[in-house]
Structure formats: structure tokens, C-alpha cells
């Protein structure tokens, strides 16, 4: 893993497809914008103004406590979904050129393991804590492992029908495991944080500490359904890459799939609750369905209607999405924003200063990414 500098037109980030979809760059940046702190704008507006619409939006940009779904719960799975979307472009193009599957598989596995290691460093620092105090589960590990297995399925399962079968099979298997396998002291079918099979497996097999003591939202067992989130992206990318479909037909298929997934997910919710912490099968469908619908919208606006000027802000973020996620741990952007803008904000009222501080923080982060973009320097994993 290292920054790469090229004199050519920047390619799509993490992983790099052969043919660029600007909508994919922009949507990845749009998604990453909220991860890097964009949601704080609504939170500070809600606190400083008390406006009803700001309070409503701030609430939507929080995670549900356990069961349920809010838009903010879609941010993480959308990123994993987009990694899947790029797979038919990156791996599919190389397979079409005759590249060796085993060689591609090694690259996929290497990338997945690098993300796991980066996640450990992100949680614990470069000079590790005592083993028992380290947290091994992470957002990057979830993306690395689930994305890796989804890509390996794409590489070695050549039939689309078989891939769909694996997708359905994993979702049903996970449901059956959580509902039928008893947990000591809680029995079978307990979906609480303490009593679920997911938490029990984490406590048994996850080294180090768990994020929520008895459960880790990026633990071992819940990686299984997360593979299906990546596979949904693979299915979407396969549709977008087809040359025998018109753009209109592609969008129709994505919308139909998205609406169907959301509907099925909420139907399934009646017996298997939508739950991000457990990454339940119903959650995979609801979050994946919304991801399909958002992708279809971005694809229609950007790649079909060719309305592109507004995308630049998000493309700059999307080109270095992993880097800005990691950089927050080692660069004090908040201090930089205070150093650059505190004097200016001092002339305004306290509410404006509070909101302005968040905007300044985001501006400094974006400026950092813009500098790298202009230098054509991108972190590749």
C-alpha cells in the first residue's frame, strides 16, 4: 500500500476499475462526506437554532439504538456496496483480457488483509496496546473481508444464477443460525445484544476487546451477511457493465431491484428484525435496496443526463476515500480549522461560530483532498 502518482487521468479509487463511472466516484464521495463529518452540520444547527427541520434531519443522521433503520444506517453498507459495484469493471475487464484468476485472487486477498491490518492500526494506533486491550473488529476489516469474499465469489463462480443462489443461501443460512442455534443461558432465537449468537461467537472467538463489551458490530459472524451487501453491489455493477442493455433499461432494473429489496426486507423484519449491529438478512435487503436506488439516481443524473459540474466536490473526496478516513487519526484537522478560521468567525454570533466551525473543519479536510487531487496522488490499497 502506498500513494501513487501518475500523469494520467485519475482512475476510480478502491479498487480501480478499467472504465470509469463518474457516478461511482461521486457517490463514493457523497457517502464519504457524511463519514468524514458532514452530518455534524445538522447536529449543530439543531442545537443552536432549534429549527424543527434541523432537529428532524439531525435525528436521521444518528444510528438506531438496536432494531430499526434510519438513513445514517445506510452510510456504511453503501460504501461496501460500492466496492462491489466496481468489481465487474476491475476484475471483469481483466478476466476478459485473459488475466489469470489465481493471480487476481491473490491481489483480492492481499487487499482484504491489508484493510484488516489498517483497521487494527486505526483502532489501536501504530504502536499497539497490550493484546487484551486491542480491538480487532473495524469498519475497514468489514469492508476488507466482506468485499474480499464477494470478489472471490465473482472470480470463481462464473454463473450469475449460481451467484444469486449463494446470495440467497447466505441470507437464509444466517437467519437460520441466529434463530435455531441456542446460546448458553439465553436459548435460541434471542436477538438481544447479550443473548444473540452473534455476540456469543464474538465473545468466544474474537481476540482482544469487543466494541460493546459483549458484542462487536464488526465482529466475526456478522461478516457472513455483509458478504451479501458486497454481492448486491456486484450484481448492480454487472447490470451497468452490460453492453446489450440501454441506459434506460439498466436504470429500470436497478430501481426494480431496489424497491423489491426494500419491500422484502421490511416484510422479513416481522420475523427477523432489521438490525445494523447484527447485520441481519433483512438489514442487508433494506440497506442494499436503498443503495441500489441511490446508485440508479446518481447514474441517471451523471452518466445518462450528463449533469456533471456539481459532482466535482464529491469526486475529490471519492478519489481518496480510504485516505481521508485514516487521516482523521493522524492529522488534527480541527486544530487546522481553528488556526485558519477562528479569527474570522470571532466577528459573528455564537451560533454562527458553532456552525462555522463545523463548516471550516470540513473545508480543511476537503482542501487537503483537493491538494492531493491536483497532485494526482491517491492512496491505493
122 in a structural domain: yes
109 in a structural domain: yes
Cα-Cα-Cα-Cα dihedral sign, residues 89, 90, 92, 95? positive
DSSP 266-292: HHHTTTS--BTTTT-HHHHHHHHHHHH
48 in a structural domain: yes
> In whole angstroms, what is the distance from residue 228 CA to residue 291 CA?
13
pLDDT in tens, 142-195: 999 999 999 999 999 999 999 999 999 999 999 999 999 999 999 999 999 999
For 304, the domain range is 22-309
76 in a structural domain: yes
360 in a structural domain: no
Q: How many domains does the chain fold into?
A: 1
> In whole angstroms, what is the distance from residue 292 CA to residue 261 CA?
9
pLDDT in tens, 319-338: 999 999 999 888 999 999 98
Say yes or no to pLDDT of 6 above 50: no
Say yes or no to pLDDT of 343 above 60: yes
Q: What is the maximum alpha-carbon separation in the chain?
A: 64
Evaluate whether 182 touches 190 at the Cβ level (below 8 Å): no
> In whole angstroms, what is the distance from residue 66 CA to residue 62 CA?
12
345 in a structural domain: no
285 prior amide bond cis, ω within 30: no
Task: Please provide residue 275's backbone torsions phi and psi, each rounded to the nearest 5 degrees.
Answer: -150, 115
**Residue 131 has what pLDDT?**
81
DSSP 347-360: TS-HHHHHHHHHHH
What is the value of pTM for the model shown? Answer: 0.90
pLDDT in tens, 371-381: 999 999 888 87
Give the mean pLDDT of the chain.
91
27 in a structural domain: yes
**Residue 20 has what pLDDT?**
65
Say yes or no to pLDDT of 113 above 90: yes
> In whole angstroms, what is the distance from residue 151 CA to residue 115 CA?
15
> In whole angstroms, what is the distance from residue 358 CA to residue 349 CA?
15
Q: How does residue 5 score in pLDDT terms, banded at 50, 70 and 90? A: very low
- For 213, the 3-state DSSP assignment is coil
Evaluate whether 356 touches 324 at the Cβ level (below 8 Å): no
105 in a structural domain: yes
Amino acid at each position: 500500500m502506498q500513494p501513487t502518482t501518475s500523469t494520467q487521468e485519475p482512475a476510480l479509487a478502491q479498487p480501480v476499475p478499467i472504465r470509469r463511472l463518474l457516478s461511482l466516484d461521486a457517490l463514493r464521495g457523497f457517502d464519504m462526506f457524511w463519514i468524514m463529518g458532514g452530518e455534524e452540520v445538522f447536529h449543530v444547527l439543531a442545537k443552536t437554532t432549534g429549527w424543527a427541520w434541523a432537529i428532524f434531519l439531525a435525528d436521521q443522521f444518528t444510528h438506531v439504538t438496536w432494531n430499526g433503520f434510519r438513513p445514517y444506517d445506510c452510510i456504511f453498507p453503501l460504501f461496501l456496496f460500492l466496492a462491489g459495484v466496481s468489481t465487474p469493471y476491475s476484475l471483469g475487464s481483466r478476466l476478459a483480457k485473459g488475466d489469470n484468476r489465481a493471480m487476481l485472487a491473490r491481489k483480492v486477498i492481499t487487499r482484504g488483509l491489508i484493510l484488516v491490518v489498517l483497521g487494527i492500526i486505526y483502532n489501536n494506533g501504530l504502536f499497539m496496546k497490550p493484546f487484551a486491550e486491542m480491538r480487532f473488529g473495524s469498519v475497514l476489516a468489514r469492508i476488507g473481508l466482506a468485499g474480499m469474499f464477494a470478489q472471490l465469489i465473482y472470480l470463481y463462480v462464473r454463473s450469475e444464477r449460481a451467484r444469486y443462489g449463494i446470495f440467497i443461501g447466505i441470507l437464509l443460512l444466517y437467519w437460520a443460525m441466529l434463530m435455531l442455534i441456542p446460546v448458553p443461558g439465553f436459548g435460541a432465537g434471542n436477538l438481544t445484544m447479550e443473548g444473540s449468537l452473534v455476540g456469543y461467537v464474538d465473545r468466544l472467538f474474537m481476540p482482544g476487546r469487543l466494541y460493546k463489551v459483549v458484542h462487536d458490530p464488526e465482529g466475526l459472524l456478522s461478516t457472513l451477511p455483509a458478504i451479501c451487501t458486497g454481492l448486491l453491489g456486484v450484481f448492480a455493477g454487472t447490470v451497468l457493465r452490460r453492453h446489450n442493455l440501454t441506459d434506460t433499461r439498466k436504470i429500470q432494473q436497478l430501481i426494480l431491484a431496489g424497491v423489491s429489496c426494500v419491500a422484502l426486507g421490511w416484510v422479513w423484519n416481522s420475523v427477523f428484525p432489521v438490525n445494523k449491529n447484527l447485520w441481519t438478512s433483512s438489514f442487508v435487503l433494506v440497506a442494499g435496496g436503498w443503495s441500489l436506488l441511490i446508485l440508479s439516481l446518481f447514474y441517471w443524473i451523471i452518466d445518462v443526463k450528463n449533469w456533471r459540474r456539481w459532482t466535482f466536490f464529491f469526486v475529490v473526496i471519492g478519489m481518496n476515500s480510504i485516505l481521508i478516513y485514516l487521516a482523521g487519526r493522524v492529522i488534527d484537522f480541527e486544530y487546522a480549522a481553528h488556526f485558519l478560521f477562528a479569527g474570522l468567525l470571532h466577528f459573528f454570533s455564537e451560533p454562527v461560530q458553532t456552525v462555522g466551525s463545523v463548516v471550516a473543519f470540513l473545508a480543511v479536510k476537503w482542501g487537503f483532498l483537493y491538494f492531493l487531487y491536483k497532485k494526482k496522488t491517491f492512496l491505493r490499497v
